[in-house]
Amino acid sequence: MLQTPFYDPEKSYEENLAEGPFGYFGEAGVTPQKGEPTYEFFGHKMYSPFGIPAGPLINGKFVQAALDKGFDIVIYKTVRTRKYPCHPWPNVLSVDVTGDLTLEKASGKLVANHAFHEPISITNSFGVPSPDPEFWKEDIANLIKAQRPGQVVIGGFQGTKMGDGDVEAYIEDYRVAARMLMEAGVKVFEVNFSCPNEGTANLLCFDIARSETIAKAIKEVIGELPLIVKVAYYQDSDALREFVKRVGSMVDGISAINTIAAEIIDEKGEQALPGEGRSRSGVCGYSIKWAGVDMVKRLKALREELGLTYTIVGVGGVTTPEDFFEYRAAGADVVMSATGAMWNPHLAEDIKHVL
């Protein structure tokens, strides 16, 4: 049964920032941890290898609520070096998908509405907004200071393209963002290579040469501190192998997947998300689990084949404890849930009952 989501889709992004989180996440109280933290995560001892990826934890209040409710590895929503606006409301809609959202289905049109139901699949269209660095640096710094043993806050970030198309300035923007996160006290970083329109091949992770250049630039800034790269689903196995060969050898973790994009329409057949450039939007939730699990299996095989050591973070469609264990069996070192956790804020507790 779907519970009250901690991010309210019926409210704007700005309203959620000011008033959220909602439901169980909005209640006071800290879920007690059992035993001692034993799971390894980049030198940190964790209570569990489970958490929430970049996206729904839009400020420190949401992040702290996730930590309080037992999600042990959480990512502060992707930040930028400058304030960046959110797409207009609505930003989250329910999507009607029967079974898996295969790539063939995603090449067509999907109907979306406000009737959220099980099994939960949604489209989210925010445009990777970011508050002003003056705000998020202090917000993250306060979270890091209050961080409890057995849990970790990851700093998620990405670069912002300049209007003049200056590639060097774009790469430098990633360096600046990484430095800002370091100044806030972040010890683990995740860079978003899976956002549309950030690379010459639509997604930055598909632009392997530029991905390699940016990953190298970030590592020059953060040094030995761990860097995770977030990627999309690769249909082309040769391209994935080349990405892992060139980028996986210099980063510390690979997270997969983000979403699967499709054209989103309303029940009248019209564009469901208003505004230019929003006819297609990423779909997440139960219907993309197949893709996340498949990527984890392939990343594990490539790690063994190429003799690499990166940590694998499995994301996509985790809505039940069974999904968590399916990802772990596939080879995920860490598992994360965004959509599933939003509508079941007890998910971390449910998983720990059977860990």
For the annotated catalytic residues, the residue numbers are 195
Q: Per-residue DSSP letters for 165-181? A: --HHHHHHHHHHHHHHH
Backbone φ and ψ for 21, nearest 5 degrees, come out as: -80, 170
Distance CA 278, CA 263 (A): 9
**What token pair was written down for 344?**
């079941």
DSSP label at 24?
G
Lookup: tokens for 88: 């207009």
CA 294 to CA 297: how far, in whole Å?
Answer: 5
Please state whether the peptide bond connecting residue 257 to the residue before it is cis, i.e. omega within 30 degrees of 0: yes
Which DSSP string corresponds to 103-145? HHHHTSEEEEES---SSPEEEE-----B--HHHHHHHHHHHHH
Ramachandran region, residue 41 (left: φ > 0; alpha: ψ -120 to 50; beta: rest): beta
Report residue 336 as tokens.
């994360």
Task: Give first-to-last CA distance, the chain, whole Å.
Answer: 22
User: What whole-number distance in Å separates Cα of residue 25 and Cα of residue 347?
Assistant: 12
How far is residue 295's CA from residue 203's CA, in Å, rounded to a whole number? 16
Q: Is residue 93 within 8 Å of residue 123, measured between CB atoms? A: yes
